[in-house]
Amino acid sequence: MRFDDIIIGGGLSGLLCGISLAETGRKCLIVSQGQSTLNFSSGALEFLACEEGVSYEQALKSLPGSHPYSKIGAEHLFVLRAEAAGLFERAGIPMRSDIRCNHWRITPLGVLKPVWMSLSEMTFFSKKDLPEKILVAGIKGFLDFNASFVASGLSEAGVDAKVCEVSVRELDELRDNASEFRSANLARALDGYAIDRLAEAINAESPEVDYILLPAVFGLENGKSVERMLSKLDKPAALIPTMAPSVPGIRLQKLLKKRFVALGGTFISGDNVISAEVNGGRIDSIRTERHGDTRFLAENVIFATGSFFSNGLKATPEEIFEPILHLDVDYSGSHGDWFNEDVYAVQPYLSFGVKTDDSLRVSLGGKTLENAWAVGQLLSGSLPLKSGCLGGVSVLSALYVAGQIKLAAQ
Ligand SMILES: Cc1cc2nc3c(=O)[nH]c(=O)nc-3n(C[C@H](O)[C@H](O)[C@H](O)COP(=O)(O)OP(=O)(O)OC[C@H]3O[C@@H](n4cnc5c(N)ncnc54)[C@H](O)[C@@H]3O)c2cc1C
């Protein structure tokens, strides 16, 4: 089977790369082994953790040359940030962002966190314009969202935050079994009139507040339930991510996959790429576990397999390696140097990833492969938690690589 482009990994970076390529009519295949980290993410994407009033351009100057953003370059990143907004829009995913600087979302602990793009139902505050009186509405018995945590965090930021707990009879059956009372199951039960009654219960608690916050447990498949919920509330309102699984993250994954397939892309899920054949400095084909001897041939191969969490990288006490082709990996020291025993300290292993040149082409035995690229969390050099560049690296590296492939094909 022959494709223009094969993408290994169907998380945020693989899907966006595939969509961008398929939008120009290229024949693309995505092979994805398992759940991506989108299923655990907040639904808000971080570009860089810079303070209010600091522009991205200023913040980018402090990054080392090995960071993926430094390889892409500030000017390119500016264009790609605009491109990303359009791509999400066309996939039916309304995201809010400011192309130049961060806005602030509220975490499940009530802490304000800087973000680049967030789903339109999430908070989009500047630190200066926080509402004065907020009602945080929890759901009775739902342990993955603690309204009191959110309220106490907000109180520290000077907000007058009040808490209530509400419910509707559609949730009673689920509540009997604590392991069933999880965000994705709540989202399945909260539909139609159940939403209207939940909104009524919250409205009854909110006469004296300016704003309402509630857990993100609406709309697994699309944003209709979210719109219904927010439109039935008497006050402006927003959703806050819960503990995993993340309903907004699952929805993002589903809608991006749907867009890729609608553009004619082929998505093979539950299969694992196990090898790739290299000839003359190029990858000719890949093989997967389930398809046995079938060779998938392509002009370009993009590795979007994520980091340790998704098996894009693996570690033994002796080495860190990329499991499909043993691509060159950037890491240093021996086992004891890879992590810090203080869990709150910067963890060196988070910056490990496959080695790339400035165009994000990968290398094997020190030689760059002409038609093979890496995108997303698999890339080295990003220290995602310290610099707060998690989803941004995935989105922008994916569009950067897709752009180069499209340009070369013109
Ligand atoms: C728990 C958690 C929460 C996060 N929350 C946020 C957040 O709120 N905001 C934010 O901006 N970022 C967040 N991130 C960062 C997140 O990693 C990125 O935002 C982004 O989603 C990563 O996408 P990716 O495509 O690079 O990798 P992944 O999401 O890791 O996707 C890689 C995919 O490749 C597949 N794969 C791996 N090996 C193979 C193989 N051999 N064959 C086939 N498929 C394979 C995996 O199964 C997986 O589906 C979070 C990360 C984690 C771990």
Distance 283 CA to ligand 1 centre (A): 24
Asked whether 377 and 385 are in contact (CB, 8 A), the reply is no
User: Residues of the chain with pLDDT > 70: what percent?
Assistant: 100
Output the pLDDT for position 79: 96
The residue from 184, 215, 240 where one domain ends is 240
Question: Do 271 and 386 share a structural domain?
Answer: yes
What pLDDT sits at residue 123?
A: 86
Q: Which of 377, 380, 397 has most ligand 1 atoms within 8 Å of CB, for mutation?
A: 377
Chain-wide mean pLDDT for the chain?
95
Q: Do 52 and 127 fall into the same domain?
A: no
Same domain as 331, residue 221 = no
What are the pLDDT digits (tens) for 185-236?
999 999 999 999 999 999 999 889 999 999 999 999 999 999 999 999 999 9
Q: Which domain holds residue 221?
A: 123-240
> What's the whole-number mean pLDDT along residues 98-125?
90
Of all helices (H) and strands (E), which one includes residue 392?
A: helix 390-409
Domain boundary residue among 191, 213, 240?
240
Question: Do 10 and 46 fall within a single domain?
Answer: yes
List 88's β-bridge partners, or say none.
none
Global pTM exceeds 0.75: yes
CATH number of 193's domain: 3.40.50
Q: How many angstroms separate the alpha carbon of residue 257 from the centre of ligand 1?
A: 14
Q: Is the CB of 31 under 6 A from ligand 1?
A: yes
| CATH value at residue 64 | 3.50.50.60
| Residue 111 domain-assigned (yes or no) | no
Q: Is residue 348 a part of any domain in this protein?
A: yes
Confidence of residue 339 (pLDDT cuts 50, 70, 90): very high
Residue 325 resides in a domain: yes
- Tell me, yes or no, whether 135 and 79 share the same domain: no
pLDDT digits (tens, 9 = 90+) for 350-386: 999 999 999 999 999 999 999 999 999 999 999 888 8
Q: Are 34 and 270 in contact (CB under 8 A)?
A: yes
Q: Which residues of 277-310 are buried (b: 16+ CB within 10 A; e: fewer)?
A: ebeeeebebbbbeebeeeebebbbbbbbbbbeeb
Question: Domains in the chain: how many in total?
Answer: 2
Q: What's the pLDDT at 255?
A: 97
Based on the fold, state whether residues 267 and 197 are members of the same structural domain.
no
66 Cβ contact list (under 8 Å, min separation 6):
330, 380, 381
286 lies in the same domain as 308: yes
Report the atom number in ligand 1 closest to the C-alpha of 271: 43
pLDDT value of position 125 = 81
**266, 395: one domain:** yes
In a domain, 377, yes or no: yes
Q: Are residues 174 and 280 in the same domain?
A: no
pLDDT value for 179: 81
Q: Is residue 8 part of a domain?
A: yes
Instruction: State the pLDDT at residue 274.
Output: 97
